[in-house]
Amino acid sequence: MKNKNLVIFVVLSMALLLAYSFVVGKLYPAKPVAMAATAPVSSQTPLQATPAASKPDAPAATPSAQTPPATPLSPNAASHTLKTPQLNLTWRIEDGALVQAIWNDGTKFFNEAQKNEKGEETSKAFPGIGGVLHTQFQQITEERTPNGVKVHFQNAEGDHLVYAIPDKGYAIEVGWTTRRGTHLDLIHRPANEKEAQALGRVFTLKEKEITAVAWADVLKDPFFSFLGFKRKEMPPAASLVGMDAGLDKGSTAQRTHYFAALWDVSPHVTERDERGYHLAPDKNGNLTARLYLGPKETSQLTAFGTPFAQVVDFGFFGAVAKVFFLVLFWIHRFVPNWGWSIILFTLLLRMLLWPLNTKSTVNMLRMKDFEPHQKALQAKYEKFGGDMTKKAEMQKELMALYKKNNHNPMGGCLPAIVQMPVFFALWSMLNAVYELRHAPWLGWITDLSAQDPHYVLPVLLGVSMLAQQAITPAVGDPAQRKMMLFLMPAMMTFFFISMPSGLCLYYFVFNIMGLAQTWWLRRNYVGQEITA
């Protein structure tokens, strides 16, 4: 069959990988950046005061009406910054919105305005979370408490917004008091595509369900709009709402999602409209909420609220990725290095797939036994040239020969197909699980979730694939085999250059194990007689 099945499989596999990369690129596009500019303070869209909801509410823990000692503040200041042991927070004074949070290692939670070399704005700054609709504050003060700091926003109308930031932990208590019924702005919907293109997902949660939509899908026309595809709606209103956060170092868009900004307004339910998610105070003009600004670390998310553990995005093969992470996490309890844990995980997975790979390799060795008969059939029908009818007869006769000898020529492809969900599941896991973020292995590999800075692992992976191709039994046209010998390793090396080094490490170890298995099976294989 001139190795046609192998060629088809390789082409389809690479097409799938490239398609996956293309989709990820469309969801989280990158823009060339020359300089960053701080977002200007913009006026809030006017909103008529909304009457307080006339429904029974639990008594709210209202902020203190007494003004604490004031922190000196320039009359012309547009923002206010507070540094805590874990976060560096920046608010827009105008409406009390939190516009930036910086993790203690310098990681920014939200994107800022970007310009290209020509000074043209390529993306707008994140519009902020929190704050109040149709409200302007004139006074901001800080109050030190035994457990942290309270930041108060007040105005002449008697409105009072307070953020209670703890010294330890990631849960911020937010209180809002007003006589005008104005809403607390939980998550502001980006105004346009420029504000949304650098963001990840927005989501709402229930006890065992998450509804997540990429911000870009909400604001941007679909790629296949000419086929009738429409923009997606924001997730429905709920008590638990949030969005992805965190930008990798040097990145201007959210490609990985190791952090989150999450709101819990239970037992109330948010309101959702063209402005985003917001919430009215109770009949007494009071409202309390909790805001989580921190990593997507399962223990921390569960402590904030059990449903929030669902925000860890394991991708399309989520069920497989979750199982893999549980196994990997268990291994890490005994081997406190994520790189070595990945190696042990790979060895364990390869051992589980050993029988399947053995069957595949033996199947390919068996194909070598059929090669003389296959060439004889080709010679028999060669005189008919390109006659499709005769080619169909030859193929039918060849399949009858396989059936007579209880051989499945496609059996060798099964292990490779099984590995595809494993590959994508590991890819998703490395880009979503906070525990693997910035996890070192050894030497130059200081972050298993980032690409190899010196491309050593991708090159080693390509060499291992070349060796694997060289010793793997193959039949068909020698020129075609020679082409595939170098084409596949070269393509995979190029593809893995931008992949997380943890994924390269997994694939390299997997190939080395495959080399050992193939060498052993070839050494001990005894050819079988073919019944013609």
CA distance linking residue 448 with residue 438, whole number of Å: 6
> Which has more pLDDT, 416 or 6?
416
CB 148 within 8 Å of CB 64: no
Percent residues over pLDDT 90 in the chain: 36
Which DSSP symbol is given to 32? Answer: -
Model confidence at 508, in pLDDT bands (50, 70, 90)? Answer: very high
CA distance linking residue 502 with residue 451, whole number of Å: 8
Write out pLDDT tens, residues 300-333. Answer: 999 999 999 899 888 777 788 888 888 999 999 9
Can you read off the two tokens belonging to residue 528?
């079988």
pLDDT of 11 > 60? The answer is no
CA distance linking residue 107 with residue 251, whole number of Å: 10
Kindly give the residue spans of alpha helices, DSSP state H, lying in 335-353: 338-352
Say yes or no: domain 84-313 is CATH 2.70.98: yes
CA 84 to chain centre: 28
Q: pLDDT value at position 27?
A: 44
Exposure string of 189-202, with b = 16+ CB inside 10 Å and e = fewer, is bbeeebbbbbbbbb
Write out pLDDT tens, residues 396-435. Answer: 878 877 777 777 766 666 666 777 777 788 777 777 788 8
Q: pLDDT value at position 474?
A: 66
Backbone angles phi, psi at 511, to 5 degrees: -70, -40
> Which has more pLDDT, 105 or 96?
96
Write out pLDDT tens, residues 153-185. Answer: 999 999 999 999 999 889 999 999 999 999 999
Q: pLDDT value at position 198?
A: 79
Q: pLDDT value at position 320?
A: 83
Q: Which whole number is the average pLDDT over 507-528?
A: 86
pLDDT of 39 > 60? The answer is no
> For 45-49, 285-289, 318-322, 378-382, which range has the lowest pLDDT when averaged over its residues?
45-49
Which residue type does 289 have?
Answer: A
**DSSP H or E stretch at residue 130:** strand 129-130
Backbone angles phi, psi at 125, to 5 degrees: -75, 155
DSSP assignment of 199-223 equals --EEEEEETTEEEEEEHHHHHS--T
CA distance linking residue 405 with residue 494, whole number of Å: 40
3-state helix, strand, coil in the chain (%, to 5): 40, 20, 40
Those residues whose C-beta lies under 8 Å from the C-beta of residue 483, and which sit 6 or more positions away, are none
pLDDT of 132 > 90? The answer is yes
pLDDT of 250 > 80? The answer is no
Whole-prediction pTM: 0.73
Q: What is the mean pLDDT of the chain?
A: 80
Write out pLDDT tens, residues 467-479. Answer: 988 887 766 566 6
CA distance linking residue 321 with residue 423, whole number of Å: 10
Q: pLDDT value at position 12?
A: 56
Write out pLDDT tens, residues 69-85. Answer: 444 444 456 889 999 98
CB 148 within 8 Å of CB 84: yes
CA 214 to chain centre: 11
Q: Are strands 286-295 and 276-279 parallel, antiparallel or unpaired?
A: unpaired
Beta-bridge partner residues of 106? none
Query: Within 10 Å of residue 188's Cβ, how many Cβ atoms?
Result: 23
Kindly give the residue spans of alpha helices, DSSP state H, lying in 353-387: 354-381
CB 346 within 8 Å of CB 509: yes
CB 513 within 8 Å of CB 354: no
Q: pLDDT value at position 478?
A: 67
Q: pLDDT value at position 64?
A: 42
CB 231 within 8 Å of CB 222: yes
Domain definitions of the chain by residue range: 4-21+323-524, 84-313
Q: pLDDT value at position 382?
A: 77
Q: pLDDT value at position 17?
A: 53
CB 79 within 8 Å of CB 95: no
Cis? peptide before 295, omega within 30° of 0: no
Write out pLDDT tens, residues 354-375. Answer: 888 888 788 777 777 777 777 7
Q: pLDDT value at position 210?
A: 92
CA distance linking residue 72 with residue 392, whole number of Å: 88
> For 109-113, 220-224, 280-284, 431-435, which range has the lowest pLDDT when averaged over its residues?
220-224
Q: pLDDT value at position 255?
A: 74
